Amino acid sequence: MSTAGFSALPTAELHLHIEGTLEPQLAFEFAERNGITLPYASVDDLEAHYRFENLQSFLDLYYSTMDVLRTEDDFAELTLAYLRRAGAQGVRHAEIFFDPQAHVARGVPIEAVIDGIVAGFADAARGMSAQHGAMTGGLILCFLRDRSVDDAQETLTAAMTRADLLLGVGLDSAEVGHPAAPFAPVYARARAAGLHTVAHAGEEGPPSSIWQALEVLQVERVDHGIRAIEDLELVERLVESRIPLTVCPLSNLRLHAVPSLAEHPLMRLADAGVVVTINSDDPAYFGGYMADNIAAIAAALDIGPHRIEQFARNSVDASFASQQRKSELQREIDEWSAAAVHSGSGGS
């Protein structure tokens, strides 16, 4: 089934960095508006740099390009643009990561970042329902693991002025050489404030990185987590605890976390009983939004619509949406499934 075929499948996106949705054309528009000169001659020149050797080579470009994001309006426009694209590819609920430390360090107030993303959500809710269905979701504040724990604590303190607008906290950026364990006090404080907890682990880092996220940070979801396949005990732990993985196939391919999509461990994890979801991570950089990721991995691993439907159901169950909203989304998936069977595309 093509991207277009999967675009009607209702899903929840659980691993999406809003800064990673900054399309090249929009980056140049923001740069002009904010009086910033990008170190690229044109949109084509910027896109030509989207050849990454590893996670760090991507992060270098990622942090450089996000310099164009300066105002609340920038974040609102960026969020609305993402939600429109995502809605057209089946996303009905989006739990969006954002990296406030990277913006505050450039003099952008954390309130401008949060309020802008929330405003983008509000605009999407008003304008998208008739075309793509209702869009819900929320914000997950990510700490940069290559910065200090003290910096993370200060960021959490600053964010508490907007705590009612946050779903949870996460941990991202360079994984290798930056263990999760030191951030345990920050996570304990976030949980005490009623926030959900997730963390990137097992993308480039080994299974021990995932163990730290589970045992020390006590996360409710693991972002990426694909290297769990190397540790049978860890796989069993994920299955028993029903801890979901938010897997990002095209990201893993573009950052060389897997040699090819045909060798991606997604189905091996799923067949072992792990709760696997499919997501787009930083779609402006990695070549695809939700349905693009679904279509690419389905083709590479020969996954039929029935199994893809299960990944969509997993995404809803693994989300932090209300039970009422989860039930609504599951009914939408029921309707998609019935239509797929009727059209003759509902194989295994």
What pLDDT, on a 0 to 100 scale, did the predictor assign at position 339?
85
Structure tokens belonging to residue 249: 């196939």
Residue 313 lies in a domain: yes
Residue 230, pLDDT > 70, answer: yes
What pLDDT, on a 0 to 100 scale, did the predictor assign at position 128?
66
Residue 346 lies in a domain: no
What pLDDT, on a 0 to 100 scale, did the predictor assign at position 134?
79
CA distances, 234 to each of 88, 206, 211, 268, 335 (Å): 36, 11, 7, 14, 35
What pLDDT, on a 0 to 100 scale, did the predictor assign at position 129?
57
Average of per-residue pLDDT across 151-156: 98
What pLDDT, on a 0 to 100 scale, did the predictor assign at position 89?
96
Burial (CB count within 10 angstroms: exposed 0-12, middle 13-18, buried 19+), residue 194: exposed
Q: For the chain, what is the domain count?
A: 1
Residue 113 lies in a domain: yes
- pLDDT-derived band of residue 217, with 50, 70 and 90 as boundaries? very high
Mean pLDDT of the chain: 94
Residue found under tokens 């499919």: 278
Please give the radius of gyration of the chain, using alpha carbons only, rounded to the nearest integer: 19
Residue 347 lies in a domain: no
Residue 58, pLDDT > 60, answer: yes
CA distance 338 to 8: 12
69-83 pLDDT tens trace: 999 999 999 999 999
The residues pairing with 91 across neighbouring beta strands, listed in sequence order, are 11
Residue 193, pLDDT > 70, answer: yes
What pLDDT, on a 0 to 100 scale, did the predictor assign at position 192?
98
Residue 155 lies in a domain: yes
Residue 346, pLDDT > 60, answer: no
Residue 4, pLDDT > 80, answer: no
What pLDDT, on a 0 to 100 scale, did the predictor assign at position 5?
79
CATH number at residue 155: 3.20.20.140
Average of per-residue pLDDT across 286-312: 97
Backbone angles phi, psi at 307, to 5 degrees: -70, -40
Which residues participate in catalysis according to the annotation?
Answer: 203
Residue 345, pLDDT > 70, answer: no
Range of the domain at 244: 3-340
Residue 167, pLDDT > 80, answer: yes
Beta carbons within 10 angstroms of residue 279's beta carbon: 29
pTM attached to this predicted model? 0.95
115-133 pLDDT tens trace: 999 999 999 888 665 555 6
CA distance 120 to 156: 22
Residue 345 lies in a domain: no
CA distance 323 to 243: 18
Which of 48-62, 277-291, 315-329 is predicted with the least confidence, judged by mean pLDDT?
48-62
Q: What is the largest CA-CA distance in the chain?
A: 56
Which of 52-61, 217-226, 294-303 is predicted with the least confidence, judged by mean pLDDT?
52-61
Average of per-residue pLDDT across 308-320: 98
The residues pairing with 170 across neighbouring beta strands, listed in sequence order, are 142
Residue found under tokens 């300066």: 70
250-265 pLDDT tens trace: 999 999 999 999 999 9
- pLDDT-derived band of residue 343, with 50, 70 and 90 as boundaries? low
Average of per-residue pLDDT across 303-315: 96
Residue 348 lies in a domain: no
What pLDDT, on a 0 to 100 scale, did the predictor assign at position 126?
80
Residue 10 lies in a domain: yes
- pLDDT-derived band of residue 186, with 50, 70 and 90 as boundaries? very high
CA distance 228 to 203: 9
DSSP class of 105: T
- pLDDT-derived band of residue 340, with 50, 70 and 90 as boundaries? confident
CA torsion through residues 214, 202, 55, 52, sign: negative
The residues pairing with 139 across neighbouring beta strands, listed in sequence order, are 96, 166
